[in-house]
């Protein structure tokens, strides 16, 4: 059974996720594990699920912190499922398909790597894609003999009203509930990364019990627990004040930045979630190499602009960057757009 620590907060997290993930039944607080940040959750989960040298499949480009987190405790490897910018028939850029997952899994087996799980981010970072229920079910069916870790860090950061986010916890029939694990935290959706809060929800009590042991090293302060509980239980404020303001500000910032990108004829993925835009700056590279990509990255730094290079997201194509637009209007306007 999970630790008694954080019991009150775990109950509130279970209620919160039940409501905002639209789960078919109430989530059990005993299946909630709380640690000091989602990176801590991911690192601990890698150690619980894998032996050293085993691997996770991860579609790329993807959050660069995974590479550090998986290696930190358990020396778990990442097998990239490379997605391509070139659009196939009836497809879209950087589309994840079961075929690509199967190719990556086969390649890993040929190389002698033991794959234990699949890591998915939904909404995706850095692409901004939101997986449909149909697509998610296809990925879960593919991975029915693997553990699936679904990072839903940006689930409340979908600002396009035409797009509906579906949590994997909302799905009534999972291929293997005991191997499906969901990570969420407040650092992105509530912009409070300093609170160092990360939560895992898993139907697997053995995994939850093992994960709870990491609370000895990765607990969060009692003050932070109290404040987080107050935040998560105030749905009236969240629904009527915070989320409308948050989404409006993201819409305005996204509209401003994408308008500038269109004016400069810079290709980008036009999505409606997250805090960032995935942009193509290949035209500004002298040659299409990661060395040139790094030089361009440093030129931006020289002008006090931080654009994360594609290589940090394990992108196989040089020239792609993540531009974070979640900033106050005067800061966006202060950028040099010429």
pLDDT tens-digit series, residues 249-264: 999 999 999 999 999 9
- Report the alpha-carbon distance of residue 315 to residue 84 in Å, rounded: 9
Q: Model confidence at 71, in pLDDT bands (50, 70, 90)?
A: confident
List the structure tokens of 274.
């997250």
Residue 309 lies in a domain: yes
Whether 148 and 209 share a structural domain: yes
- Report the alpha-carbon distance of residue 13 to residue 230 in Å, rounded: 11
Q: Which residue has the higher pLDDT, 29 or 3?
A: 29
DSSP string, 93-109: TT---HHHHHHHHHHHH
Give the length of the chain. Answer: 338
pLDDT over threshold 50, residue 2: no
Crossing angle of helices 7-20/222-233, nearest 10°? 30
53: three-class secondary structure by DSSP: coil
Whether 59 and 179 share a structural domain: yes
Tell me the pTM: 0.94
115: three-class secondary structure by DSSP: strand
Final residue belonging to a domain, choices 205, 234, 263 = 234
- Report the alpha-carbon distance of residue 158 to residue 178 in Å, rounded: 28
Whether 161 and 44 share a structural domain: yes
List the structure tokens of 46.
């890698």
Contact 293, 310 (CB under 8 A): yes
Residue 297 lies in a domain: yes
Across residues 185-192, what is the average pLDDT? 96
Residue 67 lies in a domain: yes
- Report the alpha-carbon distance of residue 117 to residue 57 in Å, rounded: 6
pLDDT over threshold 60, residue 82: yes
54: three-class secondary structure by DSSP: coil
Whether 108 and 222 share a structural domain: yes
Whether 227 and 89 share a structural domain: yes
- Report the alpha-carbon distance of residue 44 to residue 38 in Å, rounded: 10
pLDDT at 274: 95
Final residue belonging to a domain, choices 234, 254, 277 = 234
pLDDT at 336: 63
Q: For residue 147, list its beta bridge partners.
A: 117
Per-residue pLDDT of 293-338, as tens digits, reads 999 999 999 988 899 999 999 999 999 999 999 998 888 888 766 5
Whether 141 and 65 share a structural domain: yes
Q: Model confidence at 1, in pLDDT bands (50, 70, 90)?
A: very low
Whether 164 and 308 share a structural domain: no
Of the chain, the percentage scoring pLDDT greater than 70 comes to 98
Rounded to 5, what percent of the chain is helix, strand, coil?
Answer: 45, 15, 40
| DSSP-derived pairing of the beta strands 115-121 and 55-60 | parallel
Whether 23 and 159 share a structural domain: yes
Residue 2 lies in a domain: no
How many domains does the chain divide into? 2
Residue 273 lies in a domain: yes
Mean pLDDT of the chain: 94
Residue 338 lies in a domain: no
pLDDT at 73: 79
Per-residue pLDDT of 95-141, as tens digits, reads 999 999 999 999 999 999 999 999 999 999 999 999 999 999 999 99
Residue 243 lies in a domain: yes
Q: How many CA atoms lie within 13 A of 290 on its CB side?
A: 10
Of the chain, the percentage scoring pLDDT greater than 90 comes to 86
- Do you find a cis peptide bond into 71, omega within 30 degrees of 0? no
For residue 322, give the H/E element and its range.
Answer: strand 320-324
Whether 314 and 171 share a structural domain: no
Contact 181, 202 (CB under 8 A): yes
pLDDT at 4: 56
pLDDT at 27: 97
CATH of the domain at 210: 3.40.640.10
Distance of CA 272 to the CA centre of its chain: 15
Whether 260 and 316 share a structural domain: yes
Whether 221 and 307 share a structural domain: no
Structural domain of 248? 237-333
Going by C-beta distance under 8 Å and a sequence separation of 6 or more, which residues neighbour residue 112? Answer: none
Final residue belonging to a domain, choices 178, 204, 234 = 234
Per-residue pLDDT of 11-31, as tens digits, reads 999 999 999 999 999 999 999
CATH of the domain at 285: 3.90.1150.10
Whether 251 and 227 share a structural domain: no
| DSSP-derived pairing of the beta strands 198-202 and 147-151 | unpaired
């Amino acid at each position: 059974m999970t630790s008694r620590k954080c019991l009150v907060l775990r109950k509130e997290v279970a209620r919160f996720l039940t409501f905002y993930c639209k789960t078919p039944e109430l989530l059990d607080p005993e299946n909630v594990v709380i640690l000091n940040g989602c990176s801590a959750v991911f690192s601990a989960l890698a150690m619980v699920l894998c032996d050293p040298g085993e691997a996770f499949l991860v579609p790329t480009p993807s959050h660069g912190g995974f590479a550090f987190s998986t290696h930190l405790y358990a020396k778990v490897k990442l097998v990239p499922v490379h997605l391509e910018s070139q659009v196939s028939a009836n497809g879209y850029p950087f589309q994840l398909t079961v075929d690509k997952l199967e190719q990556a899994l086969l390649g890993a087996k040929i190389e002698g790597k033991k794959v234990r799980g699949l890591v998915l981010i939904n909404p995706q970072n850095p692409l901004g894609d939101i997986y449909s229920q149909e697509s998610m079910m296809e990925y879960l069916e593919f991975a029915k003999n693997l553990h699936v870790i679904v990072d839903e860090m940006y689930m409340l950061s979908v600002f396009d009203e035409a797009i509906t986010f579906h949590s994997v916890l909302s799905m009534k029939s999972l291929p293997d509930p005991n191997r499906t694990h969901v990570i969420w935290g407040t650092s992105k959706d509530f912009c409070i990364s300093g609170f160092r809060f990360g939560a895992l929800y898993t139907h697997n009590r053995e995994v939850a019990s093992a994960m709870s042991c990491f609370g000895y090293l990765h607990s969060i302060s009692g003050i932070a627990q109290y404040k987080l509980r107050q935040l998560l239980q105030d749905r009236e404020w969240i629904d009527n004040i915070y989320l409308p303001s948050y989404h409006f500000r993201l819409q305005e910032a996204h509209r401003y930045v994408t308008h500038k990108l269109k004016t400069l004829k810079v290709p980008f993925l036009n999505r409606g979630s997250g805090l960032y835009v995935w942009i193509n700056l290949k035209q500004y590279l002298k040659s299409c190499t990661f060395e040139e990509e790094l030089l361009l990255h440093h030129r931006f730094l020289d002008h006090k602009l931080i654009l994360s290079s594609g290589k940090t997201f394990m992108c196989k194509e040089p020239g792609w960057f993540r531009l974070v637009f979640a900033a106050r209007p005067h800061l966006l306007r202060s950028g040099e757009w010429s």
